[in-house]
Amino acid sequence: MFSIIPREMVFYDLFEKGASNAHKGAKALLELLDNYEDVHEKVKKIKDIEHAGDDLTHEILERLNKTFITPFDREDIHELASRIDDVIDLIDVAASRMALYKIEKPTEDARLLARCLVHATAIIEETVPLLRKSKNLQTVLQRGREVHTQENEADRIEQHALASLFENSHDPRDIIKWKDVYQDLEAATDRCEDVCNVLEGIMLKNA
C-alpha cells in the first residue's frame, strides 16, 4: 500500500556510522598489537571508540521508539544495532584485558586475529550502505561469504593459539590471560558474521 508518510531514512546513516566505527576500533586494536607501546593511551583510544559506538546504538534505539514508519522491520533494526555494538564491545574488552593483565608483549596469533577483525569489519563497512537498495542482495550475500571466510580463519588461528599456549607456557597465569584475550578476539569475529547474517535477512525480506 502506498503511504504518504515518509520513512525515517536516518537509520541508514546511523548504521553506516556504526559500521565505520567498528572498523575504526578494529584498526586501533591492530595498531596497539603491531606497535605495543603507550598501551594505556591506545587502550583509552579504543575505549573512546567503544563509547562512540554506544552513543550510536542509543540513538538508533531512541529513534526506533519514536518512529512510526521504519525503512525495514523494527526487530531487524534492533538486532542489527545490537550486533554491530557487540563487535566494538568485544574489541574494547580484548584491549582492556591486555592493559588490566599487564601483558608485556602481544603474540603473533593475537596480531593475526586482529587482522581477521580488520578485514571482516572492512567488509561490513562496505556492505551496510547496500541496505539502501534491495537490488544489492547478491552483493550482500557475497560479502557475507567473505566475512564467513574470515571467521573460519579466526577459528583456526584461535585453535592454534590455544594449543601453543598450553604446550609452551609454563606459567598458569599466562595461560589464563591469553586464553581470555584469544577468546575475545575470536568472538568479535563471530559477531561480524552475525552482523552479516542480519544484513542478509533484511535484504531477503525486502528483495
Distance between CA atoms of 185 and 189, rounded to whole angstroms?
A: 7
**C-alpha distances in Å from residue 119, one per residue of 45, 94, 124, 159, 202:** 20, 17, 9, 19, 22
Distance between CA atoms of 77 and 72, rounded to whole angstroms?
A: 7
Secondary structure of residue 72 in the 3-state scheme: coil
Do 9 and 16 form a contact (C-beta atoms < 8 A)?
Answer: no
pLDDT at site 199: 96
Range of the domain at 180: 10-206
Q: Domain for residue 185, yes or no?
A: yes
Give me the number of domains the chain comprises.
1
- On the question of pLDDT at 35 being above 70, the answer is yes
Helices assigned H by DSSP within the chain: 10-34, 39-66, 74-100, 108-127, 137-168, 172-206
Residue 36 is classified by DSSP as -
pLDDT at site 1: 39
Q: Domain for residue 4, yes or no?
A: no
Q: Domain for residue 1, yes or no?
A: no
pLDDT at site 135: 83
Which grid coordinates are listed for 189?
569475529
Of 36-40, 88-92, 139-143, 166-170, the one with minimum mean pLDDT is: 166-170
Which grid coordinates are listed for 19?
559500521
Q: Domain for residue 87, yes or no?
A: yes
pLDDT at site 134: 77
Q: Domain for residue 15, yes or no?
A: yes
Q: What is the mean pLDDT of the chain?
A: 93
CATH number for the domain including 178? 1.20.58.220
Confidence grade of residue 67 (pLDDT, cut at 50, 70, 90): confident
Distance between CA atoms of 37 and 27, rounded to whole angstroms?
A: 16
Q: Domain for residue 5, yes or no?
A: no
Q: Domain for residue 165, yes or no?
A: yes
Q: Domain for residue 27, yes or no?
A: yes
pLDDT at site 2: 40
Average confidence (pLDDT) over 157-178: 89
